[in-house]
Structure 1
Amino acid sequence: MTGEVTLLGIRHHGPGSARAVGAALTELRPDAVLVEGPPEADPIVGLAGTAGMEPPVALLVHAADDPARAAFWPFAAWSPEWVAIRHALDAGVPVRFADLPAGAGFALDKETDEASVDEPSGDDPIARLAAAAGRTDSEAWWEDVVEHRGAEADPLARFAAIAEAMTAVRDDRVGTPGSPGAAPTGPAGRRERLREAHMRQRLRAARRAGHRRIAVVCGAWHVPALAAVDAPGAARVDRELLAGLPRGPRTAAAWVPWTNRRLTQRSGYGAGVQAPGWYQHLFETEPERVLPGWLARAAALLRAADHPVPPAQLIDAVRTAEALAALRGRPGPGLAETMDAVLSVLCQGSEVALALVRERLVVGEAVGRVPAASPVVPLQRDLDRLSRSLRLKPQAEQRELALDLRRELDAGRSRLLHRLRLLGVEWGRPAARCATAQAGSGTFRERWQLRWEPESAVRVVAAAPWGTTVERAATARAAALAAEAGRLAELTDLAERCLAAQLPGALPAVLRALAERAALDTDVAHLAEALPALARALRYGDVRGTDRGALADVARSLADRLCLGLAPACTGLAADGAAAMRDRLEAAHPAIGLLAREGGAALAERWAAALDGLSLSGAVPGLLRGRAVRLLLDDGRIGSAQALLRLRPALSRAAVPADAAGWLEGFLAGGGALLLHDPRLLALLDDWLAGLPEPAFTDLLPLLRRAFAGLEPAVRRGIGERIAAGPVPGGRAGRAGTAEELDEARADAALPTVLRLLGRPAA
């Protein structure tokens, strides 16, 4: 304590510290409050007390000309800084942030890769204090002595004890008690010295403004340094130190919603809280009711999930948690003891049930809100307007959204989500397409996985230079992506995305770039990669009523060139190249089918002819020949008899075994049920395998295993049963004889060896 100034040293995001700060401020009745945080947020700090502001929230400060350079200061209801801000606003006294400006921090970031802005590098003062108390778990020790501690007769006594402890730790570490410059060396030390010098300067400014009862809420580590504000020469040292502060960029600040889940991640100011839901419970609940209240909430949650929890188990769980705390030398049950009791008693050892409690209660699903008056970029305002009109509420938990594009509301939701993805705002990610869409019979349904992440606010700010509305920004961004695209497939994918997002203003630039690139690209692999996205785009255009003429012309041109160049591009490929081309072939085949259904019957004939030529070319790897035969068979272009005629030479004794195995893999990739329906195919395959020399069979075994591993389990089982039942009808083994036509001479020759293996004397 320094007379006019009261230093309240806290741990960021600590519920016990938050309660103590509230009690201390009520006792002190300060006429000004300083809080550790970015001074750029002073103009908007008053919004914390307005209607519509619900924590968790965060202060976002970003560089005005480079929004990606940003930093967050998150606050929960149980954050001591938030309690201090609300107390000052409710009392009508000024509240200001006192830390180093965020802009200066951005400039320092260019000079160092320093990861933390909170604690000094290489030292954990809480761990040192815990060790002095004979405890190895610093987190549990701090919880016991601060966060779980109840109210005290003297609200300031706790902060006096914290200041004394931190002074001892800092003096022992740097050997310069109370010195303004006492801090570790190196980049982290320089940043810390600058921060503390700026805090002292802000404290002096509050005095000059006429305030006489000033309360400062800051990290406990900084208390000894701030207590030296009146040390001889301290003001001169601080001025000289801050004179070397690098000039930072112009910045802007805003409040943004935060989430409990995001509080658990180590990012921003003092984040990394692993149990925000538990801390909320500690903050809101009287100490004697913490344990039973938490267990009652856990029991209600488990019962709602159809996990039985009899009332008697609550009593057993309380006793278990208290017994565990006593055995571990703790004054009362903490989260570890409480959750151990939940697992063993309420969940009856079920980790699945425990995971539900952790997800819903320990972490929690809270999502904050900010008032409409909070400053935001125009793009954010348009997004807020659209999300309200489309009834899309940002939520922290992941959920699935099914859309029917024939409905106006769902079509609008789809447009918004697709446009945001073009801007890099991943509010939603497309889930797997429905079966009908995959089959090409309809694209009027979409499924999305939605989750609003707080970082999305930064991405919206970063996208703001592209336009003031979501549609204008997405249109401008798509045009820029078209100019930057390096590959044909990137442009076709972009065209598909523009149609899905219904951006008619972007299509001319995208289609112009696409036509130019398609006319110059002669690589068949590139054409095959690009075609599927174009075909899907045409289907989207049909559903959404957009003009598809120019896009259809480009798609048909690519398809024609693919038909002409397919066989030469597949000639002489090595194994890896053949596998890659097989994947492209499989993607292009349904795409050409879609184009044919859109009025390209002649295209379907040309594609079938290309596949037929591919299947008959001896210079093409067996993998591709076999795949081409199967595609023709599945499309009804050839019958099983013709497929058998092409399979027979591929599996003949003259064929190279590895090439034959590749042919088989490509042929079976479409499913193996035809081996059961057509015994001639199975018989031919059986004969080929039976006739392989032992070394060749051993070498081909991995290839064969891969070919058959892709078949449906029921098909594999059926083939096995068919083979185990005896010689396959139609095969050479089936024609050679049965059990009644046993070759006794050959059997007699093997008899001595069989008897020796059985340990029986020879006859």
Structure 2
Amino acid sequence: MTARAPERPTTSDAAPARRGPLLLGVRHHGPGSARAVLRALDAAAPAVVLVEGPPEGDALVALAADGTMRPPVALLAHAVDDPGRAAFWPMAEFSPEWVALRWALAHDVPVRFIDLPAAHSLALPAEDGEEGEDEERDGEGAGGGDGEAEGDRSGLRIDPLAVLAEAAGYDDPERWWEDAVEHRGPGRAGDPFAPFDAVAEAMGALREEYGSGGQRRDLVREAHMRIHLRAARKEFGDDRVAVVCGAWHVPALTGPYTATADRALLKGLPKVRAEMTWVPWTHRRLARHSGYGAGIDSPGWYGHLFAAPDRPVERWLTKVAGLLRDEDRTVSSAHVIEAVRLAETLAVMRGRPLAGLTETTDAVRAVMCEGSDVPLALVHDRLVVGDVLGEVPDAAPAVPLQRDLARTQRTLRLKPEAHEREVDLDLRKDTDAARSRLLHRLRLLGIGWGEPGGRRGSTGTFRESWRLRWEPELYVKVAEAGVWGTTVLAAATARAESLAASATALSDITALAEQCLLAGLPDALPVVMRALADRAALDADVGHLAQALPALARSLRYGDVRSTDTAALGEVAAGLAERVCVGLPPACAGLDADGAAQMRTHLDGVHTAVGLLPAVRDRDLAARWGAVLLKLAGRDTIPGVIRGRAARLLLDDGRLPEDDAARFMGLALSPGTPPSDAAAWIEGFVGGAPGGGMLLVHDARLLGLVDTWLTGVPAEAFTDVLPLLRRTFSAYEPGVRRTLGELLRRGPTTGPATTTAAPHEAAAPGFAATLDTARADAVLPVLRLLLGAGTGQAHVPAGNALVPEGKR
């Protein structure tokens, strides 16, 4: 409980006199608490304001009055020698602490943070099971203490709001808090201090029952708060001090504790050198479900309650209607009126003083969403939580790397945003190429602002697609990466050189070489290339060589787009390809099923890489690789999945005649081949790659061979090969599977069409044994129209009568 202080001239006539410090126990990020704090400060007009927070932030308080500072923001503290050890103290526009800071700055009143310094909280070990401080008791710092502290009689970790809500007959703490605080006025008889008296009394009863509630560090933090409170009372007077802190701490600030005991509790605490700054925060990070326990499930809703001057329900439902209209849903003014009526009726039926988020959500679902939760999920994501990203002034302290990144972002017009967005880059444009280099450099530094999108796997090398989303934790990543350099380019270069020196796997170094080319790190590339040459010369494992080659081939390909000198890279790639050609056939012999499946993946990667590698010093790599595939396809000691895949790659490249492909299949599916080996050959030939099903659709001989073999598999072996066959054919598109079933129902033949048949007559219904040139020529006029090549001597079919005469 707080004591009464004598009335001063500046105190409201309706406010009773008080003695002693004004203790304002709040819920962090509570709009009702924020409004109540503002009324209490206006009524009491204290000479100093003490706020729960790290004292290192005192030097940064003045920035809260800067016109470019827009909440949500957070105080970020990190250890100088270990930037990964960091803690945040978030503040939204509706946070009581933020309101207290702004009030003190506006009234030229000193404001001080009184919580445990970040230098200690970052050094203390985390408590067992701790995932973040509880929002009703704490600021959002990191921490925990070690050992059971004296005075914590229960050892239980409790949620004060949940206990109070249960005592009041509520099953939802959020709903109880809204009814008790957010939906009430100034208090009895206009007393601005009444809500804080009631909360302090409730928390006092809980502290008597539960002690520190399982938060052992609270005892240390509260001792530090009491020391600062005593100093302020001595300097400004008992009734001239206002304290804004978590309601849980209020009883501890008024209890019978001595200065000697508090200093003894703080003696010997570990300490690190810490730095602090302001960083932007997001509403999404204020939500408990984001993995960061900052205290509220609905920051967007709470922000609305704090900002709405009147009629909050009507304004909220109007905002929801606007969002749904933007998503092309039919929502009229009548829907809004009816939703307001329904929300208010639900509040009356449920005995609530005002319609809350539960009632408005139920009304939106019933009236505007027609009972569907799909558009309701959009409302929750965009409005109830929201993607608001705060801003901090340029004058805020920052590591040099962060300043260079901010300058680069402004230059490239690539603004950090809280919501995820897609960005397509054309690398032929200077700005887009620079954006690509920046994003790749940040990924190399472990700063995951952007993730490559789906277009990276396309055949075009001059386009990239990125998914961008800026998270507040990335500021910590930037601070960590600051040890590598003061600019993004210098830091990425140093990081790449360090990774090259420490890498042991050949594939890791080849991937690093690709990253250096994509990120535009010419100074790091020679170091990486030397490491690559050294590892490649010592590594005799064909699997490692085959795994490393695709990244080198992609590097050469992308290097051409970025006008990068890749001559040395091409030499290493060609050397690796030759070593793979020599060592692959022996390495494929005698493999088990898992080893064969892995080697088949390497086979596909090397085949793609050889197609991308240019001829270096007249080395005909493509011809040598074709000879290796032919050797693999015809060697009986090679597992069936590899032999089948090699035959398929040769067929697709036009190096294996269709008759030879049918011969290979006939041998693989002969009665003397074990069914499991035959099924593996089929998987390698027509499975696991695009086009396998269409090959069987258009080649009746191959389909007939598979059908004949499958119908001849003995019953005792069929159950063994069935899983493999299902895995092969289930990967086909539904239309391909349907066509194959229809062909098999008709009964395809395994031999060619008779010589007496007409060219257009099929060996199986719908398919011909040879190409029907007459039907193929009929397509040419349409192709000429599409390609704009004119018609030449060809006749335009009657079906193109709609084409203008001048275009035929």
Equivalent residue in structure 1 for 2:244, among 205, 217, 220: 217
Separation in structure 2 between the aligned mates of residue 129 and residue 709 of structure 1, nearest angstrom: 57
Which residue identity does 1:139 align to in structure 2?
A: E
Are residue 34 (structure 1) and residue 34 (structure 2) matched?
no
SS of 1:150's equivalent in the other structure is coil
Separation in structure 2 between the aligned mates of residue 89 and residue 211 of structure 1, nearest angstrom: 20
Separation in structure 1 between the aligned mates of residue 659 and residue 221 of structure 2, nearest angstrom: 83
SS of 2:620's equivalent in the other structure is helix
Separation in structure 1 between the aligned mates of residue 675 and residue 498 of structure 2, nearest angstrom: 51
SS of 2:564's equivalent in the other structure is coil
Whether the aligned pair in 2 keeps the contact of 1:72 and 1:269 (CA below 8 Å) is no
Pairwise CA distance, 1:412: 0.6
SS of 2:316's equivalent in the other structure is helix
Separation in structure 1 between the aligned mates of residue 291 and residue 263 of structure 2, nearest angstrom: 28
Equivalent residue in structure 2 for 1:163, among 179, 189, 200: 200
Aligned to 1:655: 673
Matches within 5 A, 1:398-547: 398-433=420-455, 438-439=458-459, 442-547=460-565
In the alignment of these two chains, the number of paired residues is: 713
Aligned to 2:685: 667
Which residue identity does 2:219 align to in structure 1?
A: R
Separation in structure 2 between the aligned mates of residue 586 and residue 143 of structure 1, nearest angstrom: 61
Separation in structure 2 between the aligned mates of residue 727 and residue 266 of structure 1, nearest angstrom: 58
Whether the aligned pair in 1 keeps the contact of 2:48 and 2:236 (CA below 8 Å) is no
Whether the aligned pair in 2 keeps the contact of 1:74 and 1:269 (CA below 8 Å) is no
SS of 2:455's equivalent in the other structure is coil
Aligned to 1:754: none
Separation in structure 1 between the aligned mates of residue 292 and residue 515 of structure 2, nearest angstrom: 37
Are residue 137 (structure 1) and residue 172 (structure 2) matched?
yes
Whether the aligned pair in 2 keeps the contact of 1:683 and 1:731 (CA below 8 Å) is no
Are residue 8 (structure 1) and residue 34 (structure 2) matched?
no
Aligned to 2:222: 196
Which residue identity does 2:231 align to in structure 1?
A: A
SS of 1:254's equivalent in the other structure is strand
Are residue 20 (structure 1) and residue 44 (structure 2) matched?
no
SS of 2:613's equivalent in the other structure is helix
Aligned to 1:750: none
Separation in structure 2 between the aligned mates of residue 504 and residue 448 of structure 1, nearest angstrom: 23
Aligned to 2:794: none
Equivalent residue in structure 1 for 2:161, among 126, 138, 159: 126
SS of 2:25's equivalent in the other structure is strand
Separation in structure 1 between the aligned mates of residue 369 and residue 282 of structure 2, nearest angstrom: 27
Equivalent residue in structure 2 for 1:383, among 405, 420, 427: 405
Matches within 5 A, 1:595-606: 595-596=613-614, 602-606=620-624
Are residue 236 (structure 1) and residue 260 (structure 2) matched?
yes
Separation in structure 1 between the aligned mates of residue 121 and residue 290 of structure 2, nearest angstrom: 15
Q: Against the structure 1 CA distance between its residues 109 and 704, is the aligned structure 2 distance closer, same or farther, given a 3 Å change threshold?
A: same
> Where do 5+ consecutive residues of structure 1 fail to align?
175-182, 733-737, 739-763
Pairwise CA distance, 1:432: 1.6
Aligned to 2:803: none
Matches within 5 A, 1:86-125: 86-109=102-125, 114-118=130-134, 119=137, 121-125=156-160
Residues 464-519 of structure 1: CA distance to partner in whole angstroms, max 9, x if unpaired? 11000000000001111111112000000000000100001111111111110000
Residues 516-538 of structure 1: CA distance to partner in whole angstroms, max 9, x if unpaired? 00000010110111111111111
Q: Against the structure 1 CA distance between its residues 675 and 599, is the aligned structure 2 distance closer, same or farther, given a 3 Å change threshold?
A: farther
Equivalent residue in structure 1 for 2:254, among 227, 231, 244: 227
Separation in structure 1 between the aligned mates of residue 471 and residue 603 of structure 2, nearest angstrom: 38
Pairwise CA distance, 1:681: 1.2
Aligned to 2:231: 205
SS of 1:394's equivalent in the other structure is coil
Aligned to 1:701: 722
Aligned to 1:620: 638
Equivalent residue in structure 2 for 1:584, among 602, 623, 633: 602
| Range 714-723 or range 115-124, more displaced | 115-124
Pairwise CA distance, 1:268: 9.6
SS of 1:572's equivalent in the other structure is coil
Are residue 250 (structure 1) and residue 273 (structure 2) matched?
yes
Q: Against the structure 1 CA distance between its residues 113 and 690, is the aligned structure 2 distance closer, same or farther, given a 3 Å change threshold?
A: closer
Aligned to 1:747: none
Q: Against the structure 1 CA distance between its residues 95 and 351, is the aligned structure 2 distance closer, same or farther, given a 3 Å change threshold?
A: same
Separation in structure 1 between the aligned mates of residue 99 and residue 267 of structure 2, nearest angstrom: 33
Separation in structure 2 between the aligned mates of residue 405 and residue 52 of structure 1, nearest angstrom: 34
Are residue 712 (structure 1) and residue 733 (structure 2) matched?
yes
Pairwise CA distance, 1:139: 2.0
Matches within 5 A, 1:387-398: 387-398=409-420
SS of 2:470's equivalent in the other structure is coil
Equivalent residue in structure 1 for 2:373, among 347, 351, 355: 351
Which residue identity does 2:115 align to in structure 1?
A: D
Q: Against the structure 1 CA distance between its residues 599 and 325, is the aligned structure 2 distance closer, same or farther, given a 3 Å change threshold?
A: farther
Please provide the CA RMSD for this pair: 2.0
Separation in structure 1 between the aligned mates of residue 710 and residue 183 of structure 2, nearest angstrom: 73
Separation in structure 2 between the aligned mates of residue 184 and residue 658 of structure 1, nearest angstrom: 64
Residues 40-61 of structure 1: CA distance to partner in whole angstroms, max 9, x if unpaired? 1111111111121000111000
Separation in structure 1 between the aligned mates of residue 671 and residue 621 of structure 2, nearest angstrom: 37
Matches within 5 A, 1:567-578: 567-578=585-596
Give the TM-score taking structure 1 as reference length. 0.91
| Range 628-637 or range 158-167, more displaced | 158-167
Residues 538-575 of structure 1: CA distance to partner in whole angstroms, max 9, x if unpaired? 11211111110111111111111001111111101111
Aligned to 1:748: none
Pairwise CA distance, 1:111: 7.0
Separation in structure 2 between the aligned mates of residue 600 and residue 108 of structure 1, nearest angstrom: 65
Aligned to 2:576: 558
Matches within 5 A, 1:38-77: 38-77=54-93
Which residue identity does 1:438 align to in structure 2?
A: S
Separation in structure 1 between the aligned mates of residue 740 and residue 175 of structure 2, nearest angstrom: 61
Pairwise CA distance, 1:385: 0.3
Equivalent residue in structure 2 for 1:321, among 336, 343, 362: 343
Pairwise CA distance, 1:112: 5.3
Whether the aligned pair in 2 keeps the contact of 1:21 and 1:84 (CA below 8 Å) is yes
Pairwise CA distance, 1:235: 1.4
Are residue 281 (structure 1) and residue 301 (structure 2) matched?
no
Pairwise CA distance, 1:131: 2.5
Separation in structure 2 between the aligned mates of residue 559 and residue 146 of structure 1, nearest angstrom: 71
Pairwise CA distance, 1:272: 4.0
Residues 83-112 of structure 1: CA distance to partner in whole angstroms, max 9, x if unpaired? 001111111111111111122112222675
SS of 2:329's equivalent in the other structure is coil
Identity of aligned residues (%): 58
Aligned to 2:324: 302
Pairwise CA distance, 1:127: 2.2
Q: Against the structure 1 CA distance between its residues 298 and 458, is the aligned structure 2 distance closer, same or farther, given a 3 Å change threshold?
A: same
Pairwise CA distance, 1:601: 5.9
Which residue identity does 2:200 align to in structure 1?
A: A
Whether the aligned pair in 2 keeps the contact of 1:74 and 1:268 (CA below 8 Å) is no
Separation in structure 1 between the aligned mates of residue 81 and residue 618 of structure 2, nearest angstrom: 50
SS of 1:41's equivalent in the other structure is helix
Separation in structure 1 between the aligned mates of residue 576 and residue 694 of structure 2, nearest angstrom: 34
Whether the aligned pair in 2 keeps the contact of 1:686 and 1:731 (CA below 8 Å) is no
Whether the aligned pair in 2 keeps the contact of 1:73 and 1:268 (CA below 8 Å) is no
> Where do 5+ consecutive residues of structure 2 fail to align?
4-18, 138-154, 754-762, 764-808
| Range 35-44 or range 686-695, more displaced | 686-695
Pairwise CA distance, 1:140: 1.1
Q: Against the structure 1 CA distance between its residues 30 and 581, is the aligned structure 2 distance closer, same or farther, given a 3 Å change threshold?
A: same
